Amino acid sequence: MQKELLKIVDASGTSGISAKNLMKYFKVEDKEIDELLTHLAKRRMVKLVKVKQGNKEELFVYPYKVKTPPLPVSLNTVSEIPCFMCKYLKECEADKDPSPIKCEILKIWLEKMKDGQQTD
pLDDT tens figures, 30-88: 889 999 999 999 999 999 998 877 788 889 999 988 555 565 666 666 778 888 888 88
Domain ranges in the chain are 2-63, 75-114
Distances (CA, A) of 104 to 81, 87, 97: 13, 15, 13
Give strand pairing partners of 61. Answer: 17, 48
CATH number of 2-63: 1.10.10.10
Prediction pTM value: 0.52
